[in-house]
Chain A
Amino acid sequence: MIHDVSLYEILTVTSILFFIGIYGFITRKNLISILISIELLLNASVVNFVVINKYLYPDVLQGVVFSIFIIAVAAAETALAVGIIINLYRQISSVEVKDVETMKY
């Protein structure tokens, strides 16, 4: 199964993915781009759960089960966010972050 790939390489990949997600989350001014960045963050954490479960504790299944739960939560969150974004666009014709202040009231 695992021939040459060690835990360190995969953890490096996921931490790079995580910080790309954080960078996009902070610098983008667009709701859909922020949603894409959140997907990157969640996916990096899922890979971390699974990899640590596989390499360190292969005889339990907690990591796999938790990653399934995280994927379900991410799917629900994306569906809700897309609904909110489209409804917001119908009402204020914009998806920029600075224009959605009116949601506060």
Chain B
Amino acid sequence: MLRSVIYLAFVLISIAGIFFLIDYNLLAAIQLTVYAGGIIVLIIFSVLLVHHIEMRLEMASIAKRITTAVLCIVGMGVFIYTIFSFEFKMVDNKQTTTTEAIGERLLSYGEGGFILPFEVISILLLAAMIGAIVIAKGTKLMVKNNKPT
């Protein structure tokens, strides 16, 4: 269980490598801090709090696993066939997108600006934070459930 979280960390860091490869330094930094720094630590905490590490994972039945694997491989084949049969009009560009441009775009309220989704996202983060606190300190539901209803 803990091992799978570590592998997830490696996958996320490699995706940050893809972002570096296509020259988006800001997104790579966000990926490294938010995913590899924050989410991995959260999941590791939850694994360590919840699980006995040596516990065996319970998986689905073997027939269901094979069915799912076949369906996933068929879907992946359809995806890759579609991707490779489509002719993308690639544009040759040498410019680097600066962080300044992204920030100005994110905060502009003119044509094509993203100020409203930005505010909505900040409200959403605040609501998620308050919700996590309320859930984490919640009352004991077991006591209530034991009463006859």
Q: Offer 10 A-B interface pairs, CB within 8 angstroms, sorted by A.
A: A27-B60, A32-B46, A40-B8, A43-B12, A46-B15, A67-B27, A80-B135, A82-B45, A83-B135, A86-B50
| Contacting residue for A16 out of B24, B76, B97, CB 8 A | B76
Which residues of chain B are within 8 angstroms of A32 by Cβ–Cβ distance?
1, 43, 46-47, 50-51
User: Of residues 53 to 103 in A, which have CB atoms within 8 Å of B's CB atoms?
Assistant: 54-59, 61, 64-65, 67-69, 71-80, 82-87, 89, 91-92, 95-96, 102
Enumerate the 5 nearest inter-chain pairs by beta-carbon distance, A residue then B residue, closest first: A76-B128, A58-B93, A83-B132, A15-B79, A83-B135
Which residues of chain B are within 8 angstroms of A57 by Cβ–Cβ distance?
91
Interface residues of A (CB under 8 A from B): 1-2, 5-8, 10-13, 15-20, 22-23, 26-30, 32-33, 35-36, 39-40, 43, 46-47, 50-51, 54-59, 61, 64-65, 67-69, 71-80, 82-87, 89, 91-92, 95-96, 102
Q: How far is the CB of A46 from chain B (nearest CB, A)?
A: 8
Which residues of chain A are within 8 angstroms of B89 by Cβ–Cβ distance?
56
Inter-chain contact A12/B60, CB cutoff 8 Å: no
Q: Which secondary structure dominates where chain A touches chain B?
A: helix
Residue-wise, chain B 99-119 has the 8 Å CB interface mask toward A (1 for contact) of 001100110000000100100
Q: How far is the CB of A82 from chain B (nearest CB, A)?
A: 5
Known A-B contacts A47-B18, A72-B121, A96-B58; the reply to A36 vs B8 at CB < 8 A is yes
Inter-chain contact A61/B124, CB cutoff 8 Å: no
Q: Taking the complex as formed, is B53 at the interface, i.e. its CB lies under 8 A from any CB of chain A?
A: no
Which residues of chain B are within 8 angstroms of A8 by Cβ–Cβ distance?
83-84, 88
Tell me, in angstroms, the Cα distance from A15 to B26 when the chains sit together: 23
